[in-house]
Structure formats: C-alpha cells, structure tokens
Structure 1
Amino acid sequence: MIYLRPAKQRGAANFGWLDSNHSFSFGNYYDPKHMGVSVLRVINDDFVIAGAGFQEHGHRDMEIISYVLEGAIEHKDSMGNSFVVPAGDIQRMSAGTGITHSEFNHSKTEAMKFLQIWITPNKTGIKPSYEQKAVPQNGTLTPLVTADGREGSLMMHQDAAMYRLVLQPGENIALDSGERIGYLHIISGSLTVNSNQLIQGDAIGVKDEVLKALNTGNTELTALWFDLPRGNFPS
C-alpha cells in the first residue's frame, strides 16, 4: 500500500511571524484522512521570521524532535536547559510527565526554518529529558533518532527510527519497511519513487511494499526516512 502526501495539499497556517505547513492534522487544521502514520503524529514545516518564535508552552507524553534546516533555534525549558540549536543539529525532547519550553529564532536579522516532528511514545509518565547533537552523514542512510541510540543517534521512547537519506544525482536506493511501516519526507531535491515524482515537502508512506527511489534531479537529494511499527496507515 502507498500513501501519497503532496506538499501543496498540506494544511497551512500563517500568523505573520510563522508560516507553517502541516503534513497531518494540527492546531486549527483538521482532516480525518490525515491524522498521522503509525506513531508519527506531526510533521510541521515551519518558517519563522527574525527574532520571533513560540512563547513558553507545555507538552506531556510526546517525543518532540526538531531538525533545523536554516538558521538556529534558541531553546529554553523548565528543566533549566538553555541551548542554541544550529542548522544541521537534531534536538529531541521527551515531554513525559510534563514540560514547558520556548523556541525562538536565535537571529534578529535572518529567518529560520525547521521541521517539527512529534512521535507518540511507547511509555507514558516518564521523567522529561532533553538531547541535542550534530549527527554527520555516514553513507546514504544515517540514523538520527532511534530507540537504542545506534551509531551515535539520539534516543527516543518508541520502537521507531528516523534516518537522513542523501542521494547524489542519478543515485538510487530501495527502502524496504518489511513487516513495518515506512514514511519518506522530502527536504530538498527531487525524487522518483515507484513512478511517483516527489519534490520538496512531498512525502510517501509505504506498507507491504518496497520503495524504489531514484534521484532524478541535478542536485543532491535530502530526505527523512521513518521506520515505524505496524499501526495506523491512511487509506
């Protein structure tokens, strides 16, 4: 089974300081056909103007991942953490029993872009925690956040994994989710996947099939590949 999520069909919200595209139902955007894939509940493509950001707010029982694409996030939370997360770094926050935090564009002159990703945990009521690091690309598929912290990745409380996929022009790869569910989100470049042409912001989910991907563009392709447990799969 294949689930296509074109970028142009995502939910949208523009508050002036924030321009956001929602892959799944979030905030004021609700579509029962797009409530997430397996334990992957949120992918928001956020563009934040200089000096602006999310005021202090709370979360609980959620694995929240931020992947900075341009600029840097200034992060502060109720655990006493105060960090700047630059482009290329991965941030993972386990909300657990409850946490408050704020996230601002660190720059007063340049815009910031990042992906906000939420994954439902397999344990609730845990102690909140925070982790951040740069994970350099190692080969075609590099683990960024996993259940066991393999190969220098960050850890999350779920039987899932998030990888960064990088393909050069003309390079191909087969992505096999096996008995699980896979989800591929394009960050930049263009890709042909099982006869579907994908560009920036597009995504494709897969169950019981293999995704055969070819970088058909003239530049490097960057995407996120999610390996997810069997569960909800949009029809």
Structure 2
Amino acid sequence: MKKIIHRGADRGFADHGWLKSHHTFSFANYYNADMLHFGALRVLNDDWVKGGMGFGAHPHDNMEIVSIVLNGALAHKDNTGRDKTIEHNEIQVMSAGTGIVHSEFNASKTEDVNFLQIWIFPKYRNVQPRYDQQAFNPADRHNKMQVVVSPEQKEGQLWLNQDAWFSLGNYDAGQRFTISPKQPGIGSYLFLISGEAKVGDDILQSKDAIGISDYEQIEIEVNKSAEFLLIDVPMLQ
C-alpha cells in the first residue's frame, strides 16, 4: 500500500479579503512541487466567499469540475444562459470540454458561503461542455457512504467524464467502516470535512486528508462525529 497524508494546516492559503481559500494542491500563487495532484485529482480548494462577492466570468476547458456547497448557497451563471443556485446538500458537475465561461457568486448578500471546488483531469478531451446539478438527501449517508458522482449515467447520481467516483458520508462517533478501490488502477483520496477519524494507523483531524493507492482495503474508525468526502480516481502518471 502507498499512502500520503495531507494535513489541513499545511495547505496553501490565499486571503483576498472577499475570498479565503485553502489549496490542497498547487493552485494560482500557491506552488508546491510535491503537491501537484493525486492521480487524476488536480485541485481541491476549500473556499469561503463573503456575502455579495464572488468570481467574475472566467473560462475553463478540458477539466471536470465538481462544486460541493458545505454552507450557504452559490449562484452560477455561464455563457450558455444557465443561471442556477447551488444550495447546501446540492452538487454541481461541469465538463468544461472545448471551453466554457462562467461566474460563481455568493447567493447571499450578508452570509458567507463555503464550498469545495474540485478539478479532475478528464478521460476524453474536447468534449461538448456540459453542466448537471442535483440535490442529495443527507439521511442517505448517515453511517454509510453515499455515491454522488460516478462515471455512469444512472439515476440518483451525477456523472463525469472520467473513471472517478465521489462519495459522502456522515458517521457517528464509534462507527467503523472500510473502503476499497472501485477497480484496478484506482486510488482513494479521503478528505475529512469535519470530525476526527483513524484511517489505518493514522489519525485525521478536520480538513486533513489521506491518499491511498495499491491497496485492497483499509479500515476507518470514527473517533468524533465526522463528515467524509471520498474521491476515487485513476492513478495517472
């Protein structure tokens, strides 16, 4: 088994006043040669945006982008005419493909919004740009992992242009569970949104993460009530 621990306190950090952003991997002005990506997982940003503020229109291409709102609501607009708000317990997937221009703003004028912005290298380049968005019932991930994004176009899940899976789980203290690769060549990246857990022999605190590859199974013990994000991705070279 191969593993790498990413501590929340060691993440890159940018404070623009209206935006506070923690970068797990190299992004914008934060560069760490040892933190470029984990397999096909390229970006994991933990963003806090002040009320009434946001990211103006900007382009993307050939990247799969997943937005997960943890608190508040995020207003999205793009050059196709799409105008949507992503609420807590909703997830948006964007296949940027040949290119798209969009903006993201805090939907509230007064309250902060906290969301995870995650970039995945695509399986196929230059696809037709696509958005999708869905609400997920948190009761369906109480003491179990709920698959919310997968490579398959199936009811009850979002899909993206890569052999990757996103799962969320909310576990009570004292619970135990195991994770294993979805298929050969897949690595697992476990991000602890909140709480405390023991993963194998390692203790993770809130906003810590562990990347595991070349493994069959690993046990997780929840020390304090915890919220997990599990991202399974191909281990690209």
TM-score bin, normalised by smaller chain: over 0.9
**Cα distance, 1:151 vs. partner?**
5.1
Looking at structure 2, the residues matched to 169 and 198 of structure 1 have their Cα atoms a distance apart, in angstroms, of 14
Indicate if the aligned counterparts of 1:143 and 1:151 stay in contact, CA closer than 8 A. no
Query: What is the number of residues matched between the two proteins?
Result: 230
Matches within 5 A, 1:84-95: 84-95=85-96
* Matches for 1:1-235 after TM superposition, within 5 Å: 1-137=2-138, 138-139=140-141, 140-150=144-154, 152-177=156-181, 179=184, 180-209=186-215, 210-217=217-224, 219=225, 221-232=226-237
Give unmatched runs, 5+ long, in structure 2: none
Secondary structure of the residue that 2:123 maps to in structure 1?
coil
Assess if the C-alpha contact under 8 Å between 1:143 and 1:150 holds in 2. Answer: no
TM-superposed CA distance for 1:136, in Å, is 2.0
**Identity across aligned pairs (percent)?**
39
* Contact 1:62–1:94 (CA under 8 A) maintained in structure 2: yes
Indicate the RMSD between aligned Cα atoms, in angstroms: 1.2
Verify the 8 A CA contact 1:167 1:222 in the aligned structure 2. Answer: yes
Distance 2:33 2:211 in 1: 17
SS at match of 1:84: strand
Q: What is the CA-CA distance between 1:195 and the residue it aligns to? A: 1.9
The 1-side partners of 2:70 and 2:112 are apart by: 11
Q: Is the 8 A contact 2:38 2:235 kept in 1?
A: no
Greater mean deviation of Cα atoms: 154-163 or 139-148: 139-148
Letter in 2 for 1:130: Y
Q: How far apart, CA to CA, are the structure 2 residues paired with 1:143 and 1:190?
A: 21
Q: Does the 8 Å CA contact 1:69/1:114 hold for their aligned counterparts?
A: yes
How far apart, CA to CA, are the structure 2 residues paired with 1:176 and 1:127?
32
Once residues 143 and 82 of structure 1 are traced to their aligned partners in structure 2, the CA distance between those partners, rounded to angstroms, is 26
Q: Which region of structure 1 is more displaced relative to structure 2, 164-173 or 43-52?
A: 164-173
